[in-house]
Structure 1
Amino acid sequence: MSDKATHPADTPLYPIREVSRLTGVNSVTLRAWERRYGLIRPQRTPKGHRLYAREDIDRIERILQWLNRGVPVSQVRDLLEQPDSVEAPPPAAGDWESQRRQLIAAVEAFDQPRLEALFNQALALYPVATCIEELWQPVVRELEEGWDDHLGAVLQRRTLEAFLRTRIGTRLYHANQVARGPMLLIVSLPDDPGPLWVLLVALAASDQGYRVQLFDTPLPFTELPLAVERFHASALLLVSGQAEKADLVRRQLPRLAEQLAVPLALCGPVARIREAELDPTRVEVLGDDLPQAMARLQPLTQDA
C-alpha cells in the first residue's frame, strides 16, 4: 500500500466509529497506527474527518493478525508489504517481555508516572484483548506469585489496585454510555485479596461491547439474585484470584446457579483451579485466560 491512499470515487467509505465497530480496534489506536507508524492512510473529508475504504479495513484485520502472532507494532508495516506467504518472526522478536519487565519495575518502584505512561501506551497501540493477554495477565500473575509477606508487598498491591480502579473505572463509565450489548453483573468472590482480576475481567467484557455493572468487593450471596434483577443483568460473573473455600465452590455456587434465571459464570484463577469440581453443575466455568473467557461467554448471552 502506498503512503497516500487513493480509491475510486464510487468506493464505499466508512467513518472511524464504524471502522472501530467492525474491527474491534478503538479509534485512539487507529489514529496511533496512522500517525506514529503509517500503517493505514484513510482519506479525509474537507473538514478533516477520516474515511476508510474496504481495503483499509482489510489491512486493519491483517495488522491484527500480525499483532496476535506476537509481532511488535513497529515491525508490522514492513510485513504488510510482503507476500502473504511470509511467516511471522518468532515470538522472541516481540516486545511484550520488555513491556512486562518495565511494568513490573514501575509497580515495585511505586513509579506512578511510568505506570501511567506504560498503561496508556499499550492501550493506544494494541487492542484491549491483546494488552490483557500479553501484558496485564502475565504481569498480575507474576506479581501475585511474588507478593508473599515481604515488606512492601501489600503497599505494592494496593497501589496497583488503586491505579487500575481509577483508569479502568473511567473507561467503563464512558464505554457504558455508548455500549448496546447485554448487561453483565461482575462481582468479586469473598476470598479474593483485591480487585486486580475483577477489574481485568470488567475491562475485557467492556471491550466486547457488554455493559458492565462492577462490584470490586464481594456482595452477600443472598443479595446476588436481587442484584441481577435490579440491574437487569443477562449474566452474573463471579471472579477471584484465589481457590476460594471448598464449601463455597461445591455447595453455594451450584445452589446460586439454580436460583438464577440467567447464567452464572466463574472467571479468573478460581475457574482454572476449581474447574473439575464444577463440571456437573450449572455453573459456567470460563477459565482464567480472559480473552478466551469472553469468547466462551458470548454464546451464553447472545439471546439476551
Structure 2
Amino acid sequence: MSDQANHPADAPLYPIREVSRLTGVNAVTLRAWERRYGLIRPKRTPKGHRLYAKDDIARVERILQWLNRGVPVSQVRELLEQPEAVEAPPPAAGDWENQRHQLITAVEALDLERLEALFNQGLALYPVATCLDELWQPVLRELEERWDDRLGADLQRRALEAFLRTRIGTRLYHANALASGPTLLIVPLPDDGPLWGLLAALAAADRGYRVQWLDAPLPAQELPLAVERFHAQALLLASGRAERADLVRRQLPRLAEQLEVPLTLCGPVARIRQGDLEGSGVEVLGDDLTHAMKRLTSLTQAA
C-alpha cells in the first residue's frame, strides 16, 4: 500500500480508538508513526479527527510484523513499500542493544531526565509488549546482575523504582478509567521490590485489565481480604528473586486453596520455583511477561 493510497468513498472508516482496540497499538503510538515516520496516512474529518480504512489497519499489522522481527521503526517505511514477499533484513546492528545500553547508562548515572526521554520515546514508538520484550525486561535482568554486591546498587534500584512507580502509576490511572477487562490485583513478594510487579502492571493494563497494584508486600493472611475488597478476578504475585522456600512450598499453595480466584506467579521467581509449585494450585506464568499475560487471559476468561 502506498502512503498516498486513496480509499473508496464508500469504504468503512474507523476512529483511532477502534483501530487501537483492533490492533493493540495505542493511540499515542499510532499518532507517532504518522507524524514522525509517515508510516500511515489516515483520512481526517472536517474537525480533524483521524479515520482509518481497512487498508490502514492492515498496514498497522504489517508494521507490527516488522517490529516483532527486530526491524527498527525508522526502517519500516522503506520495507512497507517493497513487495509483500520481501524477506526481513537483519536488524540494524546494535539498535535494540543500543537502546538497552542507553537505558542502563541512564539508570547507573541517575540521569532521570534522560531516563524519562527514553521511557516516553519507547512507549510512543513501539507497542507495550515490544517495549517489555526488547527493552525493559532485558534491561532489568542485566541491572539485577550488575547490582549484586555493588556499591551504589541500592541507590540505583531505589531511583529506578521511584521513577517507574510514578510513570507507570500515571499510565495505570488513565488506563483504569477506560479498562473494561477483569480486575487484577498485583502484589510483590516479600524478598523483592516492586520492579517486576510494575512491569507486570504495565503489561496487564495493555491487555485491558483494570489493575490494582500495591507497591509493597502484604502478609499472606491478608491477601484473601485484599482480593475480596478490590473485587479482583485474579491475584498476581511478582518477584525477581527465588523467595523463601517456606513461602513458596507451603504458604502459596495454602493461599491458592483459600482463594476463589486464580493465584498466579510471574517474574524470575516463576522460572526458579516452577518445580516447587507443580500440582500446587498456584498458576506459574513464567518470567516472560508477554507470554504470562496471554496465559493469565486464558485463566481469567475461564474463571
Same fold, TM-score > 0.5, yes or no: yes
Give TM-score scaled by structure 2 length.
0.98
Report the Cα offset of residue 93 of structure 1: 4.1
The structural deviation recorded for 1:137 is: 0.3
Matched residue type, 1:113:
E
TM-superposition CA deviations, 1:234-269 (whole Å, max 9, x none): 100011110001111111111100010000000000
In structure 2, the partner of 1:239 is: 238
Secondary structure of 1:256's aligned partner? helix
Report whether the alignment pairs 1:126 with 2:136.
Answer: no
Distance 1:2 1:268 in 2: 42
* Count of aligned positions: 303
**Aligned twin of 2:182:** 182
TM-score by length of 1: 0.98
Shift of 1:185: 0.5
CA displacement, residues 28-72 of structure 1 (integer Å, 9 cap, x when unaligned): 100000011110000001111100001100110110011001000
Alignment check: 8 A CA contact 2:2 2:81 kept: no
Structure 1 regions of 5+ residues with no counterpart? Answer: none
Work out the CA distance in 2 between the residues paired with 1:5 and 1:60: 14
Is 2:187–2:238's contact at 8 Å kept on the other side of the alignment?
yes
Residue 279 of structure 1 corresponds to: 278
Shift of 1:3: 3.2
Note the aligned Cα RMSD (angstroms).
1.0
1:204–1:294 CA contact under 8 A, matched in 2? yes
Contact 1:72 1:93 in 2 (8 A): no
The answer to whether the 8 A contact 1:72-1:94 is kept is no
Q: Measure the CA separation in 2 of the matches of 1:107 and 1:49.
A: 38
- Structure 2, unmatched stretches of 5+, are none
Tell me which amino acid in the other structure corresponds to 1:33: W
SS at match of 1:10: coil
Whole-angstrom CA distance in 2 between matches of 1:94 and 1:73? 14
State the partner residue of 2:105. Answer: 105
Matched letter for residue 160 of structure 2: L
Structure 2 matches for 1:1-304, cutoff 5 A? 1-91=1-91, 93=93, 95-192=95-192, 194-303=193-302
Quote the Cα distance in structure 2 between the aligned partners of 1:254 and 1:103. 37
1:156-202 CA-to-partner distances (Å, cap 9, x unmatched) read 1111110000000000000000100000010011111x111110000
Find the aligned partners of 2:92 and 2:244 in 1 and give their Cα distance: 39
**Deviations, residues 78-117 of structure 1 (Å, cap 9, x unaligned):** 1111222211122454611110001111111111111010
Q: Distance in 1 between matches of 2:142 and 2:246?
A: 28
Aligned residues of 1:128 and 1:204 also touching (Cα < 8 A) = yes
Residue pair 1:5, 1:43 contacting (<8 A) in 2 also: no
AA paired with 2:105? Answer: A
CA gap of 1:143–1:225, structure 2 versus 1, over 3 A, is same
Report the AA paired with residue 73 of structure 2.
V
**One-letter identity of the residue aligned with 2:272:** I
TM-superposed deviation, 1:6: 1.5
Give the deviation of 1:303 after TM superposition.
4.3
> After the TM superposition, which segments of 4 or more aligned residues of structure 1 sit over 4 Å from their partners?
none
Question: How far apart are 1:150 and its partner, in Å?
Answer: 2.3
Asked whether the 8 Å contact 1:202–1:212 carries over to 2, the reply is yes
Paired residue type of 2:29: T
3-state SS in 1 of match to 2:149: coil
